[in-house]
Structure 1
Amino acid sequence: MSKLIFCQFNIDTACVELVFDDRSQIPIDFTAVENEVADNRFQRSELDYLIYNDPLAYADLILNSKLNVLFE
């Protein structure tokens, strides 16, 4: 199992980028995620807050499918 060593939002690519110790990477396109899951501007602002302030929590939310918890 790879260990996460780096996580940040890259404004140039509009992705939250995860880098693991085996040099593998996972980019999460936040525009695509917002288009699929956010129904209104309030949900989009909640996701935007996480992207800029806690990208690791955002990645955990997306990768572990916890979106129903956020929007209930």
Structure 2
Amino acid sequence: MRLAVVSIGNSKGIRIPKAVLDKYQISNSVEVEMREDELVLRPIRKPREGWEEAFKQMHANGDDRLLIPDVFDDETWEEW
């Protein structure tokens, strides 16, 4: 997709079509990553968005078990 660079006061900008804004759920701002020879625009998501569903899926898959025990063999809760 090619977008024209337009004058906005003393700056320049691009107009993002409504269909693209809707598809990527962009409302007021985007994150811009500057790479060597390109710019990457990303929608700004709420922190932890989608985590609740991911945790439910992890539980359903049995992926939510502890990898490291709470108490090691050589310690007790009283030491804490």
* Superposition TM-score tier, normalisation by shorter sequence: under 0.3
TM-score normalized by the length of structure 2: 0.26
Which is higher, the Rg of structure 1 or of structure 2?
2
More helix by share: 1
TM-score normalized by the length of structure 1: 0.27
Higher RCO structure (Cα 8 Å, ≥6 apart): 1
